[in-house]
């Protein structure tokens, strides 16, 4: 969820209007997706939620894009309230590891973000990205409005035309988003020298920055 600071009076007003209603439970925060999107719309922002394997990798890519205001790692698409990382990893909650991207459509379009999404993971492997296997690593796009749906569908068609295997990416309506534990956020930025980051995320970032250098934040 996008981090922002508001005064006590503003906070009370937002809560009275039902615009911001986060529920803090344990180590994760449930974001009421509809209310969150209403707030962002008033700020001229849009939200898209993406699953493409381990969220550490995906977060690093999208956080580098100009026009992206925030990237939050979390869980979506399951049937258990307030899931913890261990439960999601066990595949018992039905959730996918996702990133929730808040972006300014006047700076970067949803179409371009989805192009990056398909270019930086393998959308043809069912419930798997590299060595990470399980439904929690599925390729998925969770759209947040009816207006986003045709853009998502077009992006899938375009990606299909460039691939020799069938795309297994699911297209789903955004549901409750649960923010992942604090130690998952900004993982590559904070732990870039860790073996996993060097072996998996760094090569992905190198490939992305070479192809999409024009998208990078200054």
Per DSSP, the residues of 53-78 read: S-HHHHHHHHHTBTTEEEEEEEEES-
Which token pair is 4? Answer: 């922002």
CA distance 70 to 1: 8
* 54 a catalytic residue: yes
The answer to whether 75 and 115 have CB atoms below 8 angstroms apart is no
Taking alpha carbons only, the member of 204, 208, 210 closest to residue 187 is 204
- How far apart are alpha carbons 98 and 76 in whole angstroms? 7
Q: How many Å apart are CA 20 and CA 11, to the nearest integer?
A: 8
C-alpha span between 169 and 153 (Å, rounded):
11
Cβ atoms 94, 178 nearer than 8 A: no
Half-sphere exposure of 202 (CA within 13 A, CB side): 10
Give the residue numbers marked as catalytic. 54
């Amino acid at each position: 969820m996008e981090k922002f600071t508001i005064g006590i009076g503003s906070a009370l007003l937002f809560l009275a209007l039902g615009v911001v209603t986060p529920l803090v439970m344990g180590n994760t925060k449930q974001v009421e997706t509809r209310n969150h999107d209403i707030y962002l719309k008033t700020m001229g922002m849009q939200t898209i939620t993406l699953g493409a394997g381990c969220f550490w990798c995906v977060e690093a890519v999208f956080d580098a894009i100009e026009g992206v205001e925030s990237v939050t790692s979390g869980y979506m698409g399951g049937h258990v309230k307030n899931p913890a990382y261990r439960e999601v990893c066990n595949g018992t909650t039905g959730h996918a590891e996702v990133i929730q991207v808040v972006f300014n459509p006047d700076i970067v379009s949803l179409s371009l973000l989805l192009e990056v999404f398909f270019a930086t993971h393998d959308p043809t492997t069912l419930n798997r990205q590299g060595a990470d296997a399980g439904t929690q690593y599925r390729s998925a796009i969770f759209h947040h409005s009816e207006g986003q749906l045709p853009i998502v569908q077009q992006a899938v068609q375009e990606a299909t035309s460039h691939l020799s295997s069938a795309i297994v990416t699911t297209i789903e309506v955004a549901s409750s988003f649960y923010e992942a534990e604090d130690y998952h956020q900004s993982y590559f930025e904070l732990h870039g020298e860790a073996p996993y980051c060097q072996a998996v995320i760094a090569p992905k970032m190198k490939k992305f920055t070479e192809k999409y250098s024009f998208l990078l934040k200054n």
